[in-house]
Structure 1
């Protein structure tokens, strides 16, 4: 019987679930400008910070020497912070409803 390798399983799960939006915390976790919050998402350290302009941003902390933090897609909805580690464009908003126009006879 094959026993799955734990590290391989974790990599496969991370690649399957990292795409898309993930809840981090409430915006009250970073109430003032200059405040920050460090979280780990799928083994990657992420810093959530509130800037002087009161906007909340997310950055991936690179482990390379002298690596600058890499911006991560971040969205605020209903007082909650969401991040998306995938670089592809995933929308958090619901699609707009379209009204059908009647065909002319």
Structure 2
């Protein structure tokens, strides 16, 4: 194994653990309404260019009548990345709202 191989493997392992995964180039969905369907780690994901021209990703639920579940999606350097890590989707209340003030 060469040093380049070791560095590449370390970077790939770090990227995998971070949860961010490359899907495709934004040029694959250039127009409003265009979409991509991919399977990522066994989960079907739809990436769509919506009417406001933003690119969004959704996890397709297999339950009957299940609404698609939003997935974090980022565009970097013309590339679409999604993050399936559920921990990144949790919403936390601000500390000031969570603890009541005493009078």
Shared fold, TM over 0.5: yes
Match of 1:30 in 2: 29
Structure 1 gaps of 5+ residues are 1-16, 91-105
Structure 1: which 4+ aligned runs deviate by more than 3 Å? none
Match of 2:66 in 1: 67
Paired residue total: 74
* Secondary structure at 1:59 match in 2: strand
Once superposed, what is the RMSD of the aligned Cα atoms?
Answer: 1.6
Please show how residues 1-105 of structure 1 align to structure 2 within 5 Å: 17=16, 20-89=19-88
In structure 1, what is the Cα distance between the partners aligned to 2:88 and 2:65? Answer: 28
Q: 1:70 to 1:18 in 2, by over 3 A?
A: farther
- Say if 1:18 and 1:85, in contact at 8 Å, map to a contact too: no
TM normalised by structure 2 equals 0.68
In structure 2, what is the Cα distance between the partners aligned to 1:86 and 1:62? Answer: 16
Greater helix fraction, Structure 1 or Structure 2: 2
